[in-house]
Structure 1
Amino acid sequence: MNTVLITGAGRGIGLEFARRFAAAGAHIHATVRDLAKADALRALGSSATIHTCDVTSDAHVGALADLLGDTPIDILINNAGILLNRGESFDTLEVADLEETLRVNTVAPVRVMQALAGNVARSQRKLIVNISSRMGSVSEASGSNYSYRASKAALNMAVKILANDLKGRGVTAIVVHPGWVQTDMGGPSAALSVKESVDGLMKVIDKAGLRDTGSFINHDGSRIPW
């Protein structure tokens, strides 16, 4: 039985991942910031262990790592993220928004990976998945959304480096683009439902192996240029 840890699992893509893996017989460690909003996770019953964890906090992530101890984590999914000031232009860019977006979208997943890499390395599956965005592709960059694009580009680089560092321990680390998805972040006009996005991502995860480490993969399985 796989053990899967998902950050930002209370809604949207994270919640759908939790449901899918639970249905497949995995045990889920799901992090949320507010237990009062975790009813959908509670519905998974004994398949899910719910943790209150602010991934921007060293203390919270450290406490989670201490609680898990030597528990093997087969699949770690860094899903928690934010998009502030949608459509942000150079003229409307607020440095405070840039700093907060980097703190949540870049620093936090690195913090989680650093804390739990040993747990992943002790598992059978040895897979780290980071939910990124095509908007973080330097090759495909256009205008606007400075903070979000920069945060995802920085995450991509961090994972690319990590993939090299952990390959010798048999750990696969990838970044994935879920598509433009109908979540609170993506909005109701987005091209994909949460189900459609996670359908594709589950196939990517199922196929991912050490040969793919350090890759930037679309929800449909195609590769995205850095």
Structure 2
Amino acid sequence: MSGTVLITGCNRGLGLEFAYQYARDGWQVHACARDLVHAEDLQALEARFPDLVHLHTLDVNKDGQIKALDRVLGDETIDLLINNAGYYGPKGVCFGKVERELWRQVLETNTLSPLMMTQAFYPRVATSRLKTVVFMSSKVGSISDNQSGGGYYYRSSKTALNQVVKSLAIDLSGAGIKVVALHPGWVQTDMGGENALITPEQSVSAMRQLLQGLTLEQSGAFLNYEGTVIDW
């Protein structure tokens, strides 16, 4: 089964792997990145699948660019919207060192922008066949799982994102749209580091299998990449 997917943050890591796997399997892939000029791996992917991979410059924090992308897509429907773009912010920030502007930047990218993306492309998803919106969350956003403290910027942005997902699942249920927050696992990316447990290929393959069988009853859930429910 193939369709059309729109993915943010495709210049590397999970976004790039999502784009590759969907293109490999015959999907139309709209792959977005802030800076296409230096996204060499993404350019190579487009060259490999010229009829399937379509590159778009997109900074998810800029509403003008979101609107411009919407215009470029014409009358195309989006079966699957993957809000993958994210920003960890400065690492090792402890209590007493929190800065308002840095925190705001993380919240902007991880919480506000995914909702703005969904608002903009909702009509395309609503008229599609698969009707699925994915938000890349993180287990560190789980309040009950927090046993080590710290991580104020990133933790809070993902906790807030999970609440957005829950509300969206309720608000969009009438249109039959499935909305889910996914924890990709501890992945060997720039954010996860080289000591992480799984590769982007393993993470994305598992998440794609999960999404293929996702039901409306699961909409609004916070799921591990393997499909198990994560406590809020």
Match of 1:141 among 140, 143, 146: 146
Amino acid at match of 1:88: V
User: What's the counterpart of residue 206 of structure 2?
Assistant: 200
TM-score normalized by structure 1?
Answer: 0.97
Distance apart, 1:38 and its partner CA: 2.9
Instruction: Give 2:171's aligned residue.
Output: 165
Q: 1: distance between equivalents of 2:215 and 2:27?
A: 19
Task: Find the residue that maps to 2:64 and give its secondary structure.
Answer: helix
- Determine the structure 2 residue equivalent to 1:19: 20
Q: How does 1:5-84 map to 2 (within 5 A)?
A: 5-42=6-43, 43=45, 44-84=49-89
- CA–CA distance in structure 2, aligned partners of residues 211 and 59 of structure 1: 35
CA contact (8 A) 1:176 1:218 kept: yes
Could you tell me how far apart the structure 2 residues matched to 1:90 and 1:32 are?
33
Query: Matched residue of 1:201: which SS?
Result: helix
Question: Aligned to 1:97, which of 97, 102, 108?
Answer: 102
Deviates more, 1:49-58 or 1:187-196: 187-196
Deviation, 1:9, is 0.9
Identity %: 43
TM superposition shift of 1:36: 1.1
Cα distance in 1 for partners of 2:91, 2:157 equals 14
Q: Distance in 2 between matches of 1:214 and 1:87?
A: 31
Shift of 1:40: 2.3
Tell me how far apart the structure 1 counterparts of residues 210 and 202 of structure 2 sit (CA, whole Å). 13
Ranges in structure 1 where 5+ consecutive residues have no aligned partner: none
Q: For 2:190, which of 184, 201, 206 is the aligned residue?
A: 184
- Report the number of matched residues: 226
Looking at structure 1, the residues matched to 22 and 158 of structure 2 have their Cα atoms a distance apart, in angstroms, of 25
* Secondary structure of the corresponding residue to residue 77 of structure 1: strand
The alpha carbon displacement at 1:69 in A equals: 3.3
* Matches of 2:99 and 2:12, distance apart in 1: 27
For residues 42-97 of structure 1, the C-alpha deviation after alignment (integer angstroms, 9 at most, x for no partner) is: 33322111000110001000111122233110000000001112232112222221
Deviation at 1:126? Answer: 0.1
Deviations 1:137-175 (A, max 9, x none): 122123010000000011110111011000100100000
**Which consecutive unaligned segments of at least 5 residues does structure 2 have?**
none
